[in-house]
Structure 1
Amino acid sequence: MDPVATRPRPTTAPTYRSHDDKLSEARARSWGLDDVVDAVFFAVAALATVWLAWAVIGAGWHVSPWSVLAVVLFWALLAYLAIPRLHQVLTWLYVPDYFIGRTRTTDGVLGDPVNLAVLGDEDDIHEAMTRAGWVRADPITPASSWRIVVSSLTRRSYPAAPVSTLTLFGRGQDFAYQKEVEGNPAQRHHVRFWHTPAGWVLPGGRVVDWLGGATYDRSVGLSTLTGQVTHKIDANIDIERNYVVDDVMWASQEASTEVWPDFFTTYHDRNGGGDRIETDGDLYVLNLHDVVVDDVRSVDLARARALDARASRQRPGGLLVGLALVGLAVLADAVRLVSDSTILLTAQALRDEGVAHPEAVAYWVVIGLSSFMTTLLAVLAWASWVGHPRSRTALLTVLTLSVLTTAGHITTLGVRHATLVSIAGLALEVLALLALTERSVQRWQRHRKAERRRRRAQQR
């Protein structure tokens, strides 16, 4: 048992102090202008997505092939866009961001528990896990995401398939290791690792180098919280924790372990996918300091680190998808202007004002406005692609105004009387707004902004 600190008995009558020196280091996060702007657009995108889901299901609420498609689109919008974004907005308000022994999903809800700790370096973990037959998971990229979809559908083995991101200490896992079960991509052992911040201590004052979360994927199914297709984990996560520790101890005789009983409260709960989880609250600590690292495996680890670094430098997928959707939305708006009564109504208004050749004037006015908006969006999209600090904010502003205008027009006409082109254009704009407000896009833009500042400071 560790010694228990005691507080000396006061020798004088106590007086209330309004501040504790130890708490002075833990301050609430300060909000800058960029934080406020991003939060506003983040919430606007969430509300716009919910409205879009309602518009889609309302437009297809009658017996027809379109109604079937509308129901499918409604589910996809809710499961993959609307509900996750609402989770992110709401959990920011009520889910604690300090360490409570639980990870968080990218949607902000509580994820898998922390049930493992490690003493040692990343090289030690790589050596120990590789000896035991575990494979380091690939980073999430468009190529690896596509590969895991194909492997799941064709039931082909993908030993290094990426794992979903869970956050701890405000960031995703540093890396993960996994072991497929009989080459079945739907079933696998896997464990995520997070490096603890400098100077950080566990409750009770203990210090470890890494924290981990080990769970067993038993099948592929639908999340009960969002309806997304995801891996379903086995409820008894302690069995997987014990398996990881025993596997490492069997493969590496230099490794040792100790158990901190009842470190967390024993509980039954659900994770971010809605799966039941059960744990006895014990924390297993692996000591890998004495593990001898093989030179060949050091080379493999260096390659894996290079792959992770290259993936982290890539522009986030949300930025690429968002800008592509902006281009499609511009095209849809152009089709709508030509196909609906915009030109005819403009010509009639000009004719009432006594303008000569109203049809030609209306045509060029509409074409001119469309060309101006296309050019403006193209410039803002290019500037956002290169990481200009204010370009994304300007682009989000234009998209928000366009969404509000189109949504108001559809609401006035009635959802069932809106044209398919109008709803498609609105959907593209809302999806672009949603993609460009993703956390990964925000972080990438701020990273580029910080790099630009550093380069300017070096030039001076």
Structure 2
Amino acid sequence: MDKLTRLGVLFRLLWRLLVLVLTFGLAYVTAFVAFPYLDKRLPLLEALLLLYLALAYLGIPAIIRFWRLAIRPNHIPLYAVTPDGWPSDPVNIVILAKNQQQLISAMAAAGWQQADKANLKNLAKMLWAVLLNRPYATAPFSSLHLFGRAQDIGFQIQQGNPPTPRHRHHVRFWRLPLTPGEHARFWQIALQDLLIGKREVWVGAATHDIAPFAIRWRSGQITHLIDEMTDRERDFLIDSLKQAKALGSLTTVKAGQPLRFRGQTFGVNIVADGYVKVVKLRRFYR
């Protein structure tokens, strides 16, 4: 082991130790400072709820982000990741479109609603719709990252009677960067034979929300429960484009081996066949 490698190992060990100290520090402050303070001023249930919100949505995510400053995620291009760098939804579909408007038009013709931006107002509106089982056809998505950024656009088909955000088919898309970046080269090589003419490449991750509530095992946050057989959602999307006569051609690209990995929520093990379906839209969709 050369000197540079030894220094790298030492740095990672020290960084892990620092994260461990911060984790114990957060636990100590929560149990012996924050809780006694809140318990004296609020009813027990309110104090516990406030502590949960602070830990799940501020404290634990902050420590995970600090960990990821030095310990980079190890994933192949088939994954989109959470803002903290953890593998999340498999990337399983690519759409080749003339431009973003053609993508929006084709998805609309296939029955998909474009998701609203995930700002505070829209997130509160979605939470209200989920809790009361009320319609919100363009409910926002949480952010997942590919190519070093959150999704550029998302679409959904909600289910139920009436259809609500509790159960929905949904897909996130990232436009492939024109310049090489995180994983971009992989897609440029994989799709080089298909990129004839000026077309934009939209890399997508399609999943199916099958229950309104689940717990993220790393942070304790509340989220949707997704169907672990993610290939079915990819095929559902493709079938909807076929029925709308928006599909020009369909090609399969092998992106890796069949995958099975632990999902973001308790009890979910994501399954993917290792293939990405590439859809070229028909020209008349503008």
TM-score (norm 2): 0.77
* Residue aligning to 2:71: 94
Closer, same or farther: CA 196–285 of 1 in aligned 2, 3 Å: same
Closer, same or farther: CA 66–147 of 1 in aligned 2, 3 Å: closer
CA contact (8 A) 1:104 1:272 kept: no
* Residue aligning to 1:54: 31
* Residue aligning to 1:122: 100
* Residue aligning to 1:432: none
Closer, same or farther: CA 76–56 of 1 in aligned 2, 3 Å: farther
Out of 274, 277, 284, the residue aligned to residue 284 of structure 1 is 277
Closer, same or farther: CA 265–142 of 1 in aligned 2, 3 Å: same
Q: Which runs of 5+ in 1 are unaligned?
A: 1-44, 294-460
* Residue aligning to 2:217: 224
* Residue aligning to 1:198: 178
Q: CA deviation at 1:290?
A: 2.0
Per residue, is there more strand in 1 or in 2? 2
Closer, same or farther: CA 254–234 of 1 in aligned 2, 3 Å: closer
Closer, same or farther: CA 140–49 of 1 in aligned 2, 3 Å: farther
Q: CA deviation at 1:272?
A: 3.4
Out of 257, 267, 270, the residue aligned to residue 250 of structure 2 is 257
Aligned residue for 2:252, secondary structure, equals strand
Q: Distance in 2 between matches of 1:272 and 1:155?
A: 23
Per residue, is there more helix in 1 or in 2? 1
Q: CA deviation at 1:227?
A: 1.4
Mean CA deviation greater in 193-202 or 95-104: 95-104
Q: Equivalences for 1:37-436 in 2 at 5 Å?
A: 52-56=29-33, 58-59=35-36, 66-96=43-73, 100-120=77-97, 121-182=99-160, 183-199=163-179, 200-202=184-186, 205-207=189-191, 209-221=201-213, 222-260=215-253, 262-274=254-266, 275-288=268-281, 290-293=283-286
Q: Distance in 2 between matches of 1:57 and 1:230?
A: 26
Q: CA deviation at 1:48?
A: 7.5
Q: Deviations over 1:196-217 (max 9, x none)?
A: 1114432682236111000000
2:58 alignment partner AA: L
CA contact (8 A) 2:229 2:271 kept: yes
CA contact (8 A) 1:46 1:82 kept: no
CA contact (8 A) 2:246 2:281 kept: no
Aligned residue for 1:201, secondary structure, equals helix
Closer, same or farther: CA 48–158 of 1 in aligned 2, 3 Å: farther
Q: CA deviation at 1:54?
A: 3.1
Q: Distance in 2 between matches of 1:124 and 1:247?
A: 16
CA contact (8 A) 1:136 1:160 kept: yes
Q: CA deviation at 1:58?
A: 5.0
Task: Select the structure with the greater relative contact order (CA < 8 A; seq sep ≥ 6).
Answer: 2
Aligned residue for 2:105, secondary structure, equals helix
CA contact (8 A) 2:258 2:273 kept: yes
Q: Distance in 1 between matches of 2:247 and 2:67?
A: 46
Closer, same or farther: CA 99–280 of 1 in aligned 2, 3 Å: closer
Closer, same or farther: CA 168–203 of 1 in aligned 2, 3 Å: closer
Percent identity between the two aligned chains: 29
Q: Distance in 2 between matches of 1:291 and 1:232?
A: 37
Closer, same or farther: CA 102–210 of 1 in aligned 2, 3 Å: same
CA contact (8 A) 1:137 1:178 kept: yes
Q: Deviations over 1:412-439 (max 9, x none)?
A: xxxxxxxxxxxxxxxxxxxxxxxxxxxx
TM-score (norm 1): 0.50
Aligned CA-pair RMSD: 3.0
Q: Distance in 1 between matches of 2:176 and 2:187?
A: 13
Closer, same or farther: CA 92–100 of 1 in aligned 2, 3 Å: farther
CA contact (8 A) 1:237 1:279 kept: yes
Q: Distance in 1 between matches of 2:281 and 2:39?
A: 63
Corresponding residue pairs, total: 251
Closer, same or farther: CA 97–174 of 1 in aligned 2, 3 Å: farther
Q: Distance in 2 between matches of 1:186 and 1:166?
A: 19
Q: Which runs of 5+ in 2 are unaligned?
A: 1-21, 196-200
CA contact (8 A) 1:152 1:186 kept: yes
Mean CA deviation greater in 184-193 or 54-63: 54-63
CA contact (8 A) 2:73 2:85 kept: no
Q: CA deviation at 1:89?
A: 1.4
